Structure 1
């Protein structure tokens, strides 16, 4: 399966099709990630608030798919949008996912109370 991509300003290629992992329990998360990778999905979307990053990291590590072949997205919670908290949240996500980089790190939703 060839999935179309969108070229980001950085030059990275964002697959148009990805697996969203919100509101899945651990077994559903692991099964979904395995099935998606087996079906040649190249984009996994998660967030610190989904509480499934560790399971996703384990599923990725157990797969035969090279980390460089997966576009991995995570998101920071709105309560963690001050400078130090964003860095801490990102580092914690990296640890839970078992990777040293994310392809895309997003603000999950804006928080006007934090500037």
Structure 2
């Protein structure tokens, strides 16, 4: 297996992998699972997703299996997800983050962004 790809250090000291697998429009479970497998085997350690991509559960199942197999630890993989525009209100944001955590089968998300920062009224 190749060494992991280069990281950048963010202002808070967290290492951010330069290369990541974007998963927008990756709806097919078999295809996404194969892409995740190839990406990790190629040295990718960053996976970018969002609730709006409708694939967090596929990614969560894949990573959960990898972690349980002992091949990777959670700390090996940098996960980015995003807050959908219809959850931008403070009362909804915490719920939406919890739902992403459940779907991704993880206790934390490394980077959580505001997706399309133009909330609905």
Give the TM-score normalised by the residue count of structure 1.
0.92
Q: Note closer, same or farther for the CA distance 1:11–1:44 as it changes in structure 2 (3 Å cut).
A: same
How do 1:1-115 and structure 2 match up within 5 A? Answer: 1-24=3-26, 25-63=28-66, 64-113=71-120
Whole-Å separation in 2 of the counterparts to 1:20 and 1:94: 18
Whole-Å separation in 1 of the counterparts to 2:23 and 2:119: 26
3-state DSSP class of the match of 1:58? helix
| Runs of 5+ consecutive residues of structure 2 not aligned to the other structure | none
3-state DSSP class of the match of 1:105? strand
3-state DSSP class of the match of 1:88? helix
3-state DSSP class of the match of 2:107? coil
Give the TM-score normalised by the residue count of structure 2.
0.88
Cα-to-partner distance string for 1:17-58 (whole Å, 9 max, x where unaligned): 000001012222111111111112110000000010011011
3-state DSSP class of the match of 2:59? helix
Residue 113 of structure 1: CA displacement?
4.2
Give RMSD over aligned pairs: 1.3
| Runs of 5+ consecutive residues of structure 1 not aligned to the other structure | none
Whole-Å separation in 2 of the counterparts to 1:2 and 1:43: 10
Q: Which runs of 4+ in 1 moved over 6 A?
A: none
